[in-house]
Amino acid sequence: MESLPVIDLKEIRKVYPMGAGHVNALKGVTVSVSAGEMVAVMGPSGSGKSTLLNIIGCLDRPTGGRYILDGIDVSEMSKEELARVRNKKIGFVFQGFNLLSRVTAAANVQLPLLYADGKPDKKEMERRTVEALSWVGLREYGHHLPNQLSGGQQQRVAIARALVNSPSIILADEPTGALDTRTGMEVIDVIQRLNFQKKITVIIVTHEPNVALYCRRIIRVKDGRIQEDRKVDHPRVAAEDLKEMPAEVEE
């Protein structure tokens, strides 16, 4: 399964100007992630893991180094080119869900398709939206507004939005941070199934060691450098752990 690297970072550095001086957020990070991996990125706040995630997610450009995403050098792309790369290759899942509150779940899921190059026709968009919602188990909830859904459901809508455009990688930033243990586990389960069944490369940023145990590889970042990069021999499976949890009534 581990073949061509999807993410290939070489000596990535990031310097932020701050006041009179500057901050070295990343001091030379070299790492590569192969297709189909599920990686947890851990580290204390201020370690540079958010900066790393922003660069991997093409939301930010490195100050130095090379970033090859899916065989394409994205480290010197323009803002516009980066927007297209994000649309095509990357799905984001955030801690705070980040859904548009004024439109329905279906419209939220459809959003990346609206910005796609060579936009699919209306029927195709609807088909893919329903497919993505079905995948996260929310087929019947398309017409609901986000505030009519529970936190776990909202996060699953966000996951449907991330996968609707068939990305190469899904970046999840503290996806369980705002959820209780059980709904957090449900979200991990969906992400794990994405990885198992759809073979989508997943990177989860978390500071919960428990969440990291569900990944195949853990990367620890500290002071702008990679401190530890190890494989997990027997990652836990969320679907199995869910069965052992006491069932709760969903909101």
> Which parts of this chain interact with other proteins (CB under 8 A)?
54, 57, 59-60, 79-80, 83-84, 86-88, 92, 94, 98-100, 102-103, 111-112, 114-116, 119, 161, 165
Cα 220 from Cα 29, distance rounded (Å): 12
- Angstrom distance (rounded) from CA 143 to CA 135: 16
What is d(CA 28, CA 14) in angstroms, rounded to the nearest whole number? 8
Q: How far is the CB of 85 from other proteins (least distance, A)?
A: 8
Tell the smallest beta-carbon distance from residue 51 to other proteins (Å). Answer: 9
Nearer to other proteins, 117 or 140 (CB): 117
Taking the complex as a whole, the smallest distance from the CB of residue 90 to other proteins amounts, in Å, to 8
- Report the distance separating Cα 216 and Cα 196, nearest Å: 11
Nearer to other proteins, 165 or 201 (CB): 165
Instruction: Closer to other proteins by CB, 9 or 171: give it.
Output: 171
Tell me, letter by letter, the H, E, C secondary structure of 94-159: CCCCCCCCCCCHHHHHHHHHHCCCCCCCHHHHHHHHHHHHHHCCCHHHCCCCHHHCCHHHHHHHHH
**How far apart are CB 30 and other proteins at their closest, in Å?**
23
Smaller CB separation from other proteins, 119 or 127 = 119
Closest Cα partner for 33 from 157, 227, 217?
217
Provide the minimum distance between the beta carbon of 98 and other proteins in the complex, in angstroms, as a whole number.
Answer: 5
Tokens read off for 99: 């859904």
- The nearer residue to other proteins, 3 or 78, going by C-beta atoms, is 78
Q: How far is the CB of 74 from other proteins (least distance, A)?
A: 14
Cα separation, 32 vs 1, whole angstroms: 15
SS3 (DSSP) at 250: coil
Phi, psi of 157 (to 5 degrees): -60, -40
Question: Quick check: 163 and 198 in contact, CB under 8 A?
Answer: yes
Least gap, CB of 219 to other proteins (angstroms) = 21
Task: For other proteins, give the closer residue by CB, 79 or 243.
Answer: 79
Q: Are 53 and 60 in contact (CB under 8 A)?
A: no
The smaller minimum CB distance to other proteins, of residues 57 and 235, is found at 57
